[in-house]
């Protein structure tokens, strides 16, 4: 009996002396790290406007172009412009060998509001229209590629005499809305020589202004085809007169550029292909 007791005590002593098991170390897997992208941002497009556009592009359209490119007004002569590669796209009035034509030419319209005196007199209206269509007006814009369907000889003396006989010996003053377009200064000068003074009340008029018959006698504008139809409905086709058309051309220096156009025909450049981006690959 006592032998059994001794064996039990020895078993308890051995159990107490055994080393406590060490827990296994926790293995934390490596966190995948993304390889850096090798994609590079394309440089901004550089957009050069020929010198003949200066002052003739409305502020809202220049802002629209600036959303897609760095727009600069070029001051050099055309010969130096065509020989240099500083720009991704160049645009301007006129036609040039190897350049593309805009999808839309600019058609300069004369709108005559006959509801206001003295333009409620058909003879005065006809004389003003004839002087506005004078050949030397278009001739002065030939360097820009201007064309006209019909034209007349300038007859300032006849208009001046007509106004005097109608009771306006000192001429008339007409409230005028205008877009900043080539030819306006020449048109203004032509009519001034015939004792017709154009008083500018608003530049870049919107359709609301053009449809407000109380605001103007004459308007010198370029509008969309839809707007033109609306003006004809308001004033009659005989009082919405096409004076001349100005072509817009552009040259692309980068094959990855595509273009759309503003309402008045200025090309809006966009890259069609960009540097391919690399998808980050996990590495252990």
Backbone angles phi, psi at 26, to 5 degrees: -80, 125
Please state the domain count of the chain.
2
Look up the CATH number of the domain holding residue 260: 3.40.190.10
pLDDT of residue 274: 52
Q: Which band of pLDDT confidence, cut at 50, 70 and 90, is reported for residue 127?
A: very high
Indicate whether 8 belongs to any domain. Answer: no
Look up the CATH number of the domain holding residue 157: 3.10.105.10
Q: Is the same domain home to 94 and 119?
A: no
Q: What is the DSSP string of 166-189?
A: TT-TT-EEEEEEE---TTHHHHHH
User: What distance in Å separates the CA atoms of residue 250 and residue 248, rounded to the nearest whole number?
Assistant: 7
Handedness of CA 85, 91, 93, 94 (dihedral sign): positive
Q: How many residues does the chain have?
A: 284
Q: Is the same domain home to 207 and 97?
A: no
State the residue for tokens 């002569």.
77
- Three-state SS annotation for 102-149: CCCCEEEEEEECCCCCCCCCHHHHHHHHHHHCEHHHHHCCHHHCCECC
Q: Is the same domain home to 118 and 221?
A: yes
Indicate whether 135 belongs to any domain. Answer: yes
State the residue for tokens 């901004």.
44
Domain that holds residue 66: 45-104+248-270
Q: Is the same domain home to 203 and 256?
A: no
Q: Is the same domain home to 116 and 85?
A: no
Q: Quick one: 278 exposed, middle or buried, by C-beta within 10 A (0-12, 13-18, 19+)? A: exposed
DSSP state of 209: H
Indicate whether 258 belongs to any domain. Answer: yes
Indicate whether 2 belongs to any domain. Answer: no
Query: Beta 100-101 vs 106-112: how paired, if at all?
Result: unpaired
Indicate whether 28 belongs to any domain. Answer: no
Indicate whether 58 belongs to any domain. Answer: yes
Q: Is the same domain home to 71 and 130?
A: no
User: What distance in Å separates the CA atoms of residue 251 and residue 82, rounded to the nearest whole number?
Assistant: 9
3 state SS of 23: coil
User: What distance in Å separates the CA atoms of residue 191 and residue 183, rounded to the nearest whole number?
Assistant: 12
Where is pLDDT greater, at 155 or 10?
Answer: 155
Q: Is the same domain home to 253 and 228?
A: no
Token digits of residue 252? 């692309």
3 state SS of 254: coil
Q: Is the same domain home to 241 and 257?
A: no
Encode pLDDT of 162-207 as tens digits: 999 999 999 999 999 988 899 999 899 989 999 999 998 777 788 8
CA-closest candidate to residue 284, choices 34, 29, 28, 32: 32
Beta strands in 1-116, from DSSP E residues, in sequence order: 33-34, 45-49, 69-73, 89-93, 100-101, 106-112
Token digits of residue 90? 């160049």
Q: Is the same domain home to 112 and 86?
A: no
Encode pLDDT of 57-114 as tens digits: 988 899 999 999 999 998 866 555 554 678 999 999 999 999 999 988 999 999 999 9
Q: Is the same domain home to 112 and 241?
A: yes
pLDDT at 257 over 50: yes
Indicate whether 220 belongs to any domain. Answer: yes
Indicate whether 231 belongs to any domain. Answer: yes
Q: What is the pTM of this model?
A: 0.75
**For residue 118, is the peptide bond before it cis, meaning its omega torsion is within 30 degrees of 0?**
yes
Token digits of residue 166? 């109608």
Q: Is the same domain home to 224 and 265?
A: no
Q: Is the same domain home to 151 and 265?
A: no
DSSP H or E segment with residue 250: strand 248-252
Token digits of residue 150? 């019909």
């Amino acid at each position: 009996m006592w032998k059994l007791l001794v064996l039990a005590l020895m078993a308890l002593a051995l159990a107490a002396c055994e080393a406590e098991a060490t827990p296994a170390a926790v293995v934390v897997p490596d966190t995948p790290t993304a390889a850096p992208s090798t994609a590079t941002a394309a440089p901004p497009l550089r957009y050069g406007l020929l010198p003949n556009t200066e002052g003739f592009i409305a502020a809202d359209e220049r802002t629209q172009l600036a959303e897609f490119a760095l727009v600069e007004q070029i001051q050099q002569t055309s010969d130096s412009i065509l020989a240099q590669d500083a720009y991704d796209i160049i645009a301007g009035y006129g036609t040039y060998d190897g350049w593309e034509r805009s999808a839309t030419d600019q058609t300069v319209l004369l709108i005559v509001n006959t509801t206001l005196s003295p333009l409620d007199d058909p003879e005065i209206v006809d004389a003003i229209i004839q002087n506005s269509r004078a050949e030397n007006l278009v001739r002065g814009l030939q360097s820009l590629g201007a064309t006209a369907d019909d034209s007349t000889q300038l007859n300032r003396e006849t208009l001046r005499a007509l106004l005097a006989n109608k009771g306006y010996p000192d001429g008339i003053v007409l409230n005028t809305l205008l877009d900043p377009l080539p030819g306006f200064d020449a048109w203004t000068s032509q009519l001034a020589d015939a004792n017709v003074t154009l008083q500018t009340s608003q530049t870049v008029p919107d359709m609301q202004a053009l449809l407000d018959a109380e605001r103007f006698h004459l308007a010198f504008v370029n509008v969309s085809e839809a707007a033109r139809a609306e003006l004809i409905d308001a004033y009659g086709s005989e009082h919405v007169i096409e004076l001349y058309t100005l072509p817009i051309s552009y040259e692309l220096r980068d094959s990855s550029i595509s273009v759309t156009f503003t309402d008045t025909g200025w090309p809006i450049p966009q890259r069609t292909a960009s540097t391919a981006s690399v998808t980050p690959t996990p590495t252990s």
